[in-house]
């Protein structure tokens, strides 16, 4: 990476306040900026570091008015926080090699069809009648079953497992250890107390621009499809059960579990270790706080829930005040 301040401004649609020719070669946090680094400032709590920083370039909000001299060149943008994400994407894209490669010990079935400049790492397997879109990168030791459809510009990190029949959209990122399309947890109790396995004949559909992080599992449906809609982001160690539907741009944080046949709305946030029972619906823009369990459908959009079982966040805080008061007596 080597960028001038003016190039950064061009990428971010910002403007330069200072030397447009100053060059940066790395990123750094605002509190540890050094020459040759680019930092960003968005949180007012960190303003003191803007004046003390030795970074060459600092990305700031366009309305920032410094109260002291700033030695670094500033690049002013509408939103510094989202701008640094865009710059990281830009730099990563420049580094990414879109070259055709087939690992010596990879296995690609003869009926599989791979697009332009698909990268297949060592010891990866691609099954029969599977389709892989252009510029997709499959790292070593990835398993992709039969009749899988994969879009363009995807990245699958080592240890990813994609079971047969799954459908993956464009620009999907699957981090190490993700399992897509394993059987759901379905067993029928028998009179003798044992259980008979219920076969799962459906699949998993992952739409465009979804990222699923390490060691998350998404089970295929008994019938029909388990669906993760466009733009959803799923953290590490999340369990999404059979026949679940996750809405567009919903964020699911680590160690959350969603039981079968539940429908999560659009733009929801499920914080860490949230638990969602099966066969319910959660309205759009719902926030479920950490360690909260949801045991019935949520029908009103845009509300926050907390507790076990979860209820309205504002009511929870009022109840918590009373709880603390009673504990002092």
- Whether 151 and 133 have beta carbons less than 8 Å apart is answered as yes
**329 lies in some domain:** no
- Given 47, 64, 95, the domain boundary residue is 95
pLDDT averaged over every residue in the chain: 93
Same domain, 90 and 107: no
- Whether 249 and 269 have beta carbons less than 8 Å apart is answered as no
pTM of the predicted protein model: 0.81
**pLDDT at 204 (0 to 100):** 98
Distance CA 243, CA 266 (A): 17
pLDDT at 79 > cutoff 90: yes
- Which residue do the tokens 């930092």 mark? 39
φ/ψ of residue 15, rounded to 5: -135, 150
Q: Model confidence over 98-156: pLDDT tens digits?
A: 678 899 899 999 999 999 999 999 999 999 999 999 999 999 999 999 999 999 999 99
Same domain, 114 and 23: no
**pLDDT at 321 (0 to 100):** 75
**322 lies in some domain:** no
Same domain, 69 and 177: no
**20 lies in some domain:** yes
Same domain, 217 and 76: no
Comparing CA positions, the residue from 79, 92, 96 lying closest to residue 12 is: 79
Same domain, 148 and 272: yes
Question: What CATH number corresponds to the domain at position 134?
Answer: 2.160.10.10
**87 lies in some domain:** yes
Helix H or strand E encompassing 250? none
Same domain, 90 and 116: no
**Active-site residue (options: 153, 200, 229, 242):** 242
**327 lies in some domain:** no
Same domain, 126 and 14: no
Q: Model confidence over 232-246: pLDDT tens digits?
A: 999 999 999 999 999
**pLDDT at 95 (0 to 100):** 67
Q: How many domains does the chain have?
A: 2
pLDDT at 329 > cutoff 60: no
Same domain, 135 and 31: no
Same domain, 82 and 48: yes
Q: Model confidence over 207-222: pLDDT tens digits?
A: 999 999 999 999 999 8
Same domain, 19 and 91: yes
pLDDT at 96 > cutoff 80: no
Question: What CATH number corresponds to the domain at position 27?
Answer: 3.40.1390.10
Same domain, 266 and 297: yes
**246 lies in some domain:** yes
**pLDDT at 208 (0 to 100):** 96
- Given 95, 121, 141, the domain boundary residue is 95
Query: What is the domain range of residue 72?
Result: 3-95
Same domain, 73 and 111: no
Distance CA 196, CA 44 (A): 59
**328 lies in some domain:** no
- Whether 263 and 286 have beta carbons less than 8 Å apart is answered as no
**325 lies in some domain:** no
Active site residue 242: yes
- Given 61, 95, 129, the domain boundary residue is 95
Q: Which residues contact 194 (CB under 8 A, 6 or more apart)?
A: none
């Amino acid at each position: 990476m080597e960028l001038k301040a003016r190039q950064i401004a061009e990428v971010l649609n910002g403007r330069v306040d200072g030397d447009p020719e100053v060059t940066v070669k790395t990123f750094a946090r605002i509190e540890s900026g050094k020459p040759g680094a680019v930092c960003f400032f968005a949180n007012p709590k960190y303003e003191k570091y803007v004046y003390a920083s030795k970074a060459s370039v600092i990305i700031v909000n366009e309305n920032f008015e410094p109260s002291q001299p700033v030695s670094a060149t500033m690049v002013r943008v509408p939103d510094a926080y989202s701008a640094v994400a865009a710059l990281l994407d830009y730099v990563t894209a420049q580094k990414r090699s879109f070259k055709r490669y087939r690992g010596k010990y990879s296995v690609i079935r003869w009926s599989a069809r791979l697009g332009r400049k698909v990268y297949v790492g060592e010891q990866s397997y691609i099954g029969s009648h599977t389709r892989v879109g252009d510029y997709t990168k499959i790292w070593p030791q990835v398993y992709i079953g039969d009749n899988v459809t994969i879009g363009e510009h995807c990245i699958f990190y080592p240890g990813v497992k994609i079971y047969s029949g799954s459908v993956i959209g464009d620009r999907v990122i699957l981090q190490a250890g993700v399992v897509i399309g394993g059987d759901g947890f379905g067993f029928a109790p028998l009179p003798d107390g044992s259980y008979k396995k219920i076969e799962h004949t459906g699949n998993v559909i992952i739409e465009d621009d979804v990222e699923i992080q390490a060691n998350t599992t998404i089970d295929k449906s008994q019938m029909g499809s388990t669906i993760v809609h466009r733009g959803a982001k799923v953290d590490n160690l999340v369990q999404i059960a059979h026949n679940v539907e996750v809405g567009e741009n919903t964020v699911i944080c680590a160690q959350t579990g969603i039981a079968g046949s539940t429908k999560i709305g659009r733009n929801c946030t499920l914080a860490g270790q949230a638990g969602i029972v099966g066969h319910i619906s959660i309205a759009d823009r719902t926030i479920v706080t950490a360690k909260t369990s949801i045991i019935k459908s949520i029908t009103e959009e845009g509300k926050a829930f907390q507790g076990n079982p979860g209820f309205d966040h504002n009511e929870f805080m009022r109840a918590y005040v009373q709880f603390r008061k009673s504990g002092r007596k």
